[in-house]
Amino acid sequence: MMSTIHATSIKLGNTGCLIRGPSGSGKSLLALELLGRAGENAALIADDQTTLMVENNKLIATCPPALKGKIELYGRGIIEWPIVERHQIDLVIDLVDTIERMPPETSFNCVINDIALRRIPVPNHALTDLAHQHMLVQAELLFSQPQK
């Protein structure tokens, strides 16, 4: 089964990240922040629309051809960014409208296309700054256990 969803996907090191949130919530800006800080160990998979498919019990992300290598930088327009053609998704970053001081452990899991994934709720850009968003993602990447 293949589906295209409104999301941005990136590769940070060996971890594939799917960034979800409503239009205008800051998906592309957070992706650019994470990509920029990760340097050569990072690549864009897709911005704005991500095609998802299941292969060998793994969730795989690719980019629709018309959007390949392009990402929106708010205030500048569409820019080119190095890509990886496809990558497994390991972490879902959901941009949310509320901040929970200590979210319950159940907030850190989700299922997409019958695949269990690690998830992190991150306040959208209207609620916090990029440094806080980046720290939440880094903490998840550094300290969490992979989804079983």
Write the CATH number for 16: 3.40.50.300
* Cα(85)–Cα(135) distance, integer angstroms: 27
Identify whether 117 is part of a domain: yes
* Cα(81)–Cα(109) distance, integer angstroms: 29
CB 48 within 8 A of CB 6: yes
Identify whether 148 is part of a domain: no
* Cα(40)–Cα(75) distance, integer angstroms: 24
Sign of torsion over alpha carbons 35, 45, 21, 94: negative
Question: Whole domain around residue 21: which residue ranges?
Answer: 2-143
Identify whether 33 is part of a domain: yes
Identify whether 10 is part of a domain: yes
Q: State the DSSP code for 11.
A: E
Identify whether 134 is part of a domain: yes
Per-residue pLDDT tens, the chain, 148 aa: give them: 789 999 999 999 999 999 999 988 999 999 999 999 898 889 999 999 999 999 999 999 999 999 999 999 988 989 999 999 999 999 999 999 988 889 888 999 999 999 999 999 999 888 888 899 989 999 998 887 555 4
Burial class (CB in 10 A: 0-12, 13-18, 19+), 72: middle
CB 92 within 8 A of CB 7: no
pTM to 2 decimal places: 0.92
Beta-carbon contacts of 20 under 8 Å, excluding residues fewer than 6 positions away, are 5, 6, 7, 27, 92, 93, 94, 95
- Please tell me the total count of domains within the chain: 1
